[in-house]
Amino acid sequence: MADKRPKEDPINKVKSMAKNLVDNIFDDLIEKNVLNGDELKRLGDGVNLIVNGTENLVENLAEKSQMASKILTKCLFRQQLTLDSHSESENDESDHSESSSTESENESEEDTDDEKAGSAMALALPPSAPQEIRDSQPNHNLKLCSYEYFHRMKTTKTDEIYPVMEQEGRTRLALIICNKEFTHLPHRNGFEIDLSGMQDLLENLGYSVITKVDLTAVEIEAALWEFAARPEHRSSDSTILVFMSHGTLEGICGTKHQKTEPDILHDDTIFQIFNNRNCQNLRDKPKVIIMQACRGKGSGTAWVADTGGASICRYDRTLQCYIWSDAVTKTHVEKDFIAFKSSTPHNISWRTDKYGSLFIYQLISHFKEYSWCYHLEEIFRKVQHSFENTEELAQMPTIERVSMTRYFYLFPGI
């Protein structure tokens, strides 16, 4: 049988608790001759004000409950967020001798970054993301392109889009370089979320994925040369290179990077290895470079012309292109590239130890949603737009060093 007793008013209940508590305290104070009658009267008047104000207190708490919920959410996410950068002070013992005022300033900056990160996690994710942030990865499947749409685009936009091979006989390759353990830098918590997510995405897009983990800059360069020489590129229509590591403005950090002895793979090295001079099997084919890493301070990345080393071709400075030895075929040394980086120069990239990086999460989500009907650059712009309203955290992915002359459609399912 249901309880028919009327429920007690919570405000009166709080008042009663406060009155009983104060009465007990006063009894003890009088018993031990700590207070006299006049003092007790003055205190009693003050207590009445406190108790009578309890109603306003409860009402104010109710009004602030929504704000408290947001603050709690921010605090919970804050514990998960880290940076894909590194503290130079960890590499230089002399940094520990800085003045206490400088240390306080640094601590204040870190606290500010943490507060911004909490809000950014919620703002960067799609509004429809369910609980547990879609269980660490976007759980919707990759939307596939219909053959009718593929055939229509292929026939009506032949001169505007890159040729896309159908699955039979096609040997697409993708390479992922993921550094997680470093000799002098912090461990990249959450890397496994990004790695598994990108592997799954690229495989569903029709690429055979080669993964290399924990390499120095020299080892990364060697892996890139090896990958560029793969014969499968001859019967492929494109390639995708993914780099996930700590980083600076100059490039990607190898596992032995430290302030006194840099271990950096420069961007130019990647472009040189896969340009038309050194990787002819990918000539006139899209070469997509994706980088998840912070970018250090400095004036910017140096863009160096590829003119070094012996070659079977000559470089025409007037035409600004290489002319091959048969005197008939000529090509631009750098063409059909596009790089998509997780942040602008001088800025950081946020990553959570439980859910992976914001950039990779959004990239996977938008590829799954739009790659069946949008070309690559438009997908990248949509990812950028997802960060546009991030009010408290300045991370904006950038599209860089674009030399693509056509639109690149992935046409998943074809």
What positions carry a catalytic annotation? 246, 294
Phi, psi angles (nearest 5°) of residue 70:
-65, -40
CA distance 262 to 250: 10
**Structural element, H or E, at residue 116:** helix 100-124
Angle at 219 between CA 218 and CA 221, to 5 degrees: 65
Q: Are 280 and 244 in contact (CB under 8 A)?
A: no
Q: Is 232 exposed, middle or buried (0-12, 13-18, 19+ CB in 10 A)?
A: middle
- With CA atoms as reference, report the closest residue to 174 among 199, 191, 196, 151: 199
User: How many other CB atoms sit within 10 Å of the CB of residue 72?
Assistant: 10
| Positive or negative torsion for Cα 253, 255, 261, 265 | negative
CA distance 15 to 379: 59
Phi-psi region of 89 (alpha: psi -120 to 50; beta: other; left: phi over 0): alpha
